[in-house]
Amino acid sequence: MSVSTTLPDWPPALTPEQHQHLILLSSTYALSHGFTLLPPQSANPPTSAISAPLTLLPTPFPRGLYELAVALQPLYNALYARITLDWEFLDRVMGGSVSKVDSFQGELWRGWKSIRNDLVQPLQLGLFRSDYLLHETQGEELSIKQVEFNTIAASFGALSQRASEMHRYLQKATDGFYSISPHLTKPSNIPQNEPLRNLASGLAQGWKAYGKDDAVILFVVQEGERNVFDQRWLEYELLESHGIQVIRHTFSELSSLATIDPSTKNLLLPSPLQPSSPPKEVSVVYYRAAYTPTDYPTSAEWTTRILLEQSKAIKCPSMALQLSGAKKIQQVLSEPGVLEDFLLGKDRPDVGFGVGAGSLTRADVDKLRSSWIGLYPMDDSSYGQKAYELAITEPERFVLKPQREGGGNNIYRENIPTFLKELEAEAREDGEPSKKEGYILMELIEPPKGLRNHLVKGGDNHSRNSDIVSELGVYGVSLFGGDVKQNITSTAGTLLRTKGRESDEGGVAIGISSIDSPLLID
C-alpha cells in the first residue's frame, strides 16, 4: 500500500524563546516522569539519571501508512507463531549453512535441537516489534517497508509511551506548540499510545496462563544496563496493575541461583531478601538479554539458557521463537511461495488468533509482501549468485546484514565488495560453506528527504536541528502453542525513533537515535 500524502516542510519556525522554553519543559517532564536513562559509568545503586534522547516536536508521518503498519501486526503475530511451531522449516533454514558459519546462531539452534523433544511447556510468549521506514522512490507514492522483525528483547515500549505523553503535554502546555503549525494544534494528530500498559498486560497473560497465583516473573537482564527505567516501568506496571512480582537477574547470577524441581520441572529462585524462605516459582522468563554473543561470554551462560528452556516456565521468547526472528528467516519468507504456504497452507496449525485455516486471504498475503523491500541470500544458489553480482557491481543500493540484533553490525554500500571478498578469502575446511552465507543482502530503503527536527541528546540542555530519518516500530503480543482457546494476540502500541540522516546505524542509549512520536498527516 502507498499513499499520496505530502509531508509538510518540517519543523516550523520557533523563536529562540520558544525553543528554549520547549527544551526546559521537555527535559523537566522527562526527568519527572521517568523518561530517562542511566548516565554512562553510573553507580550501583544509581544516584542520578538523564533524560532519554528525545525530539522537541513530534515528526510527521502519513496517517494511512501508520494505520497500515498497526493493522499488519496481527498477521505478523500469526506468521511468526506458525514459523516457530514448524521445526522442519527452522531446521532447514537455521540448521543449514547459517548454523555452520555463524557460531552464535549455530549454538542457539543446536542447543534447542538437543532438548526440544523433552520440553514440558507448550505455551510460548512473544513480545514482538516490527520496524518500518518510509520509502520514497522517484515517480511513486510514499510507502512503508519493513526493516526487521524483532522476537527478543523488543525494547523502549515504556519510554515510547512516555514520549507520546510528553508530546501531548507539550501540546497542551503551549497552546498547540504555540500554534506554529495547524498540524500541531489538533490533539488527535498525536495518537494515544500505551505500549507500557499493553506489553505488561501481555506478560500478565502469560502469568495467568501459567496458573499459579504466587508465581513471579523473571526478567533476565544484562550487566550494567543503562536502559533500566524502560524495564523498571514494566515491573512497576505488573505489580501495581496486576499484582505480579518481578525478580531481576543476570545470566551470571542465574547460573548459581536457578534450579528446576526434578519432578514438577518448576523453575525455582530464592527470594532476593529472604533466602531462607521457600524459593519462588517462576511463571514467565522474560529476556532483555540473550540476543547477542556478548551475553554468553562462557559456556556457563549457554548452560543456564538450556536450564531455563527445560523448565515449566513460559519463555518470552523460547529458543525456537528467537531463531524465528533471524534475518535469514526474513529473507527466506520473501522467496516465492513461502509466505503463502505459512498463511494460506491448509495444513498450518490454527494458532487461535482468528486466523485459522481458511480465514486468511490472498489479500492478507499481498499486504505483507507490499511492506517488504528486496531481500536476497548470499549462498551458491542461482538466486544467491545473482545477489552476489548485484552486491559487487551496484553496492550503493544495498546493506549486508548478519544474523544479529542490537544494531552496529551491518555493512553498507561501498564497503560491501571489500567485505565480501575478505569473507571469501578466509580459510575453510572441505565442505564448509563460505561465511558470506551467514549474511543476507537487503535493498536500501529510501526515506523521504527534507524533514528535520530538533534532537536533544540525553543530558544536554540544547538541541541539534538535523535532517532526519524516522523508524516506526509496532509492538505485538502473542501467546500461542498450547490449547488454542488459551492463545491470545494483540497489537500493543508503537515506537518512533528518529536520528540524523548522516548515521546509518541507530542506538538510543548511545545517543544516535531519539525517542519520538508520530504526528499523523492526512
In angstroms, rounded to a whole number, what is the distance separating the alpha carbons of residues 455 and 462? 9
What is the per-residue pLDDT for 33?
A: 98
Catalytic residue selected from 82, 145, 197, 327: 327
Both 285 and 197 in one domain: the answer is: yes
Residue 41 has pLDDT above 90, yes or no: no
Mark which of 398, 420, 442 sits at the end of a domain: 442
**Secondary structure of 146-195 in the HEC alphabet?**
EEEEECCCCCCHHHHHHHHHHHHHHHHHCCCHHHCCHHHCCHHHCCCCCH
Both 352 and 287 in one domain: the answer is: yes
**Is there a contact between 444 and 501 (Cβ–Cβ < 8 Å)?**
no
Is 213 within a domain? Answer: yes
**What is the extent of the structural domain holding 421?**
375-442
> Binding site annotation covers 122?
no
Is 265 within a domain? Answer: yes
| CATH number of the domain to which 405 belongs | 3.30.1490.50
Catalytic residue selected from 145, 248, 436, 497: 497
Mean pLDDT of the region 111-122: 97
What is the per-residue pLDDT for 406?
A: 67
Both 255 and 277 in one domain: the answer is: yes
pTM for the model stands at 0.95
What is the per-residue pLDDT for 424?
A: 84
Q: 405 an active-site residue?
A: yes
Catalytic residue selected from 235, 301, 309, 405: 405
Residue by residue, DSSP assigns 279-348 as PEEEEEEEESS-SSGGG-SSHHHHHHHHHHHTSSSEEET-HHHHHHTSHHHHHHHTSTTHHHHHHH-TTS
> Binding site annotation covers 291?
yes
**Is there a contact between 492 and 157 (Cβ–Cβ < 8 Å)?**
yes
Both 296 and 407 in one domain: the answer is: no
Residue-wise burial string across 146-159, b where 16 or more C-beta atoms lie within 10 A, e elsewhere: bbbbbbbbbbbbbb
Mean pLDDT of the region 323-340: 96
Both 280 and 150 in one domain: the answer is: yes
**Is there a contact between 142 and 216 (Cβ–Cβ < 8 Å)?**
no
Residue 393 has pLDDT above 80, yes or no: yes
**Is there a contact between 115 and 306 (Cβ–Cβ < 8 Å)?**
yes
Is 1 within a domain? Answer: no
Both 366 and 393 in one domain: the answer is: no
Looking only at the bridges linking them, the beta strands covering 439-443 and 398-402 are: antiparallel
443, β-bridge pairs: 398
> Binding site annotation covers 402?
yes
3-state helix, strand, coil in the chain (%, to 5): 40, 25, 35
Is 460 within a domain? Answer: yes
In angstroms, rounded to a whole number, what is the distance separating the alpha carbons of residues 139 and 463? 34
> Binding site annotation covers 66?
no
Q: 100 an active-site residue?
A: no
Helix 299-309 vs helix 103-115: crossing angle, to nearest 10: 40
**Secondary structure of 339-380 in the HEC alphabet?**
HHHHHHCCCCCCCCCCCCCCCCCHHHHHHHHHCCCCEEECCC
> Binding site annotation covers 437?
no
In angstroms, rounded to a whole number, what is the distance separating the alpha carbons of residues 177 and 447? 26
Catalytic residue selected from 129, 162, 315, 328: 129
Catalytic residue selected from 34, 96, 345, 406: 406
44 pLDDT band (50/70/90 cuts)? Answer: confident
> Binding site annotation covers 340?
no
Q: 150 an active-site residue?
A: yes
380 CB-near residues (< 8 Å, 6+ apart) = 433, 434
Both 40 and 129 in one domain: the answer is: yes
What is the per-residue pLDDT for 404?
A: 87
Both 379 and 325 in one domain: the answer is: no
In angstroms, rounded to a whole number, what is the distance separating the alpha carbons of residues 126 and 314? 10
> Binding site annotation covers 443?
yes
Mark which of 416, 442, 468 sits at the end of a domain: 442
Catalytic residue selected from 27, 77, 130, 150: 150
- Can you tell me whether residue 469 is helix, strand or coil? strand
Both 296 and 390 in one domain: the answer is: no
Mean pLDDT of the region 402-423: 89
**Is there a contact between 185 and 112 (Cβ–Cβ < 8 Å)?**
no
> Binding site annotation covers 162?
no
Q: Give per-residue pLDDT as tens, 235-257.
A: 999 999 999 999 999 999 999 99
Catalytic residue selected from 148, 165, 237, 309: 148
Nearest to 245 by CA among 209, 276, 204, 287: 204
> Binding site annotation covers 193?
no
Both 287 and 385 in one domain: the answer is: no
In angstroms, rounded to a whole number, what is the distance separating the alpha carbons of residues 241 and 180? 39
Both 386 and 468 in one domain: the answer is: no
Q: Which H/E stretch holds residue 21?
A: helix 16-32
> Binding site annotation covers 338?
no
Q: 193 an active-site residue?
A: no
Is 449 within a domain? Answer: no
Q: 327 an active-site residue?
A: yes
Q: 113 an active-site residue?
A: no
Residue 95 has pLDDT above 60, yes or no: yes
In angstroms, rounded to a whole number, what is the distance separating the alpha carbons of residues 97 and 116? 21
Residue 427 has pLDDT above 80, yes or no: no
Nearest to 178 by CA among 26, 9, 23, 21: 21
Is 22 within a domain? Answer: yes
> Binding site annotation covers 289?
yes
Is 385 within a domain? Answer: yes
Q: 406 an active-site residue?
A: yes
Catalytic residue selected from 401, 434, 438, 473: 401
> Binding site annotation covers 404?
yes
Q: Which three cell numbers stand for residue 112?
A: 534447542
Q: Give per-residue pLDDT as tens, 166-187.
A: 999 999 999 999 999 999 999 9
Looking only at the bridges linking them, the beta strands covering 280-287 and 216-220 are: parallel
> Binding site annotation covers 129?
yes
What is the per-residue pLDDT for 270?
A: 95
Residue 358 has pLDDT above 60, yes or no: no
82 CB-near residues (< 8 Å, 6+ apart) = 342, 343, 348, 349, 351
Number of domains the chain is built from = 2
Both 349 and 414 in one domain: the answer is: no
Q: 497 an active-site residue?
A: yes
How many CB atoms neighbour CB 185 within 10 A? 14
Q: Which H/E stretch holds residue 218?
A: strand 216-220
> Binding site annotation covers 508?
yes
Mark which of 383, 418, 442 sits at the end of a domain: 442
Q: 413 an active-site residue?
A: no
**Is there a contact between 433 and 379 (Cβ–Cβ < 8 Å)?**
yes
Is 483 within a domain? Answer: yes
